[in-house]
A and B are shown apart, each in its own frame.
Chain A
Amino acid sequence: MIAGIVALSTLILFAAKAPPMAAFRHLFMGSVGSWLKISQVLMGWIPLTLCACGLVFSFRVGLWNIGVEGQVVAGAITATAILRLGAESSMPGTILVIAFLGGMLGGSLWAALAGFLKVKGGVNEIFGGLGLNFVAQGITLWLIFGPWKRPGVASMSGTELFPPSLWLPTLHTLRLSPVGLALTCAVLIGAAWVLSRTRLGLALKGIGNNPRAAYLHGLKPNRYIIVAMGLAGGCAGLAGTFQVVGVYHRLIPAISSNYGYLALLVVMLANYRIGAAPAIAFFFVCLNVGSIQLPMMLQLDSSLSGIIQGSLVLGALLLYGYRRRRQGGEKV
Chain B
Amino acid sequence: MAEPMVVVDNLHVVYRVYGAGRDRGTAATALMRMVRRQRRASIREVHAIRGISFVAYRGDAVGVIGRNGSGKSTLLRAIAGLLPAEEGGGVYTDGHAALLGVNAALLEDLTGAKNITLGCLAMGMPPREVKQRFQAIADFSGVGDFVNLPMKTYSTGMGSRLRFAIASAKHQNILLIDEALATGDAQFRVRSQERIEELREEAGTVFLVAHNLRHVEETCNRVIWLERGEIVRMGEDVSGIIDEYVEASGGEPVVRDRALT
Asked if A and B are interacting partners, one says no
A interface list, Cβ under 8 A from B: none
B interface list, Cβ under 8 A from A: none
